[in-house]
Amino acid sequence: MPKAYFIPPDDLKKCALLSNFAAKLPAHAPLVGVTPAEVAAVQADNLMFAYACDATNQFKQCAQEWVAFKNALRNGSAVGNLPVAPALAGPPAPVPTDIFGRNSALGSRLKKHAAYTDAMGQDLGLIGAEQTTDLVNLKPTLKVQMQAGHPNILWTKQGMDGLEIWVDRGNGFAFLAIDTVPDYLDTAALPAAGARAVWKYKAIYRLHDEQVGQWSDVASVSVMG
Q: What is the pLDDT of residues 66-111, one digit of tens each?
A: 999 998 888 887 777 899 999 999 999 999 999 999 999 999 999 9
pLDDT band at 3 (very low <50, low <70, confident <90, very high): low
Amino acid at 28: H
Same domain, 54 and 118: yes
pLDDT band at 225 (very low <50, low <70, confident <90, very high): confident
Residue 200 lies in a domain: yes
Alpha-carbon gap, residue 130 to 143, rounded angstroms: 30
Asked if residue 1 has pLDDT above 60, the reply is: no
Choice between 194 and 204, residue whose per-residue pLDDT is larger: 204
Same domain, 21 and 108: yes
Residue 92 lies in a domain: yes
Same domain, 25 and 110: yes
Residue 162 lies in a domain: yes
Same domain, 46 and 117: yes
- Specify the CATH number for the domain of residue 199: 2.60.40
Give the pTM.
Answer: 0.59
Alpha-carbon gap, residue 15 to 54, rounded angstroms: 10
Number of domains in the chain: 2
Residue 4 lies in a domain: no
Point out the domain boundary residue: 124, 153, 172.
Answer: 124
Please name every residue paired with 184 in a beta bridge, in sequence order, or none if there are none.
153
Same domain, 15 and 113: yes
Asked if residue 15 has pLDDT above 80, the reply is: yes
Same domain, 153 and 110: no
Same domain, 15 and 95: yes
Q: What does the pLDDT read at residue 7? A: 85
Same domain, 70 and 108: yes
Return mean pLDDT, the chain.
92
DSSP sequence for 48-114: HHHHHHHHHHHHHHHHHHHHHHHHHHHHT----SPPPPP-PPPP-----S-HHHHHHHHHHHHHTST
Alpha-carbon gap, residue 188 to 151, rounded angstroms: 9
Residue 48 lies in a domain: yes
Point out the domain boundary residue: 93, 124, 155.
Answer: 124
Amino acid at 84: V
Residue 130 lies in a domain: no
Residue 80 lies in a domain: yes
Same domain, 36 and 120: yes
Asked if residue 189 has pLDDT above 70, the reply is: yes
Alpha-carbon gap, residue 144 to 151, rounded angstroms: 6
Determine the structural domain holding residue 174 and report its residue range.
143-224
Residue 137 lies in a domain: no
Same domain, 185 and 215: yes
Q: What does the pLDDT read at residue 131? A: 60
Residue (of 63, 59, 110) closest to 88 by Cα position: 59
Q: What does the pLDDT read at residue 159? A: 84
Same domain, 55 and 103: yes
Q: What does the pLDDT read at residue 127? A: 86
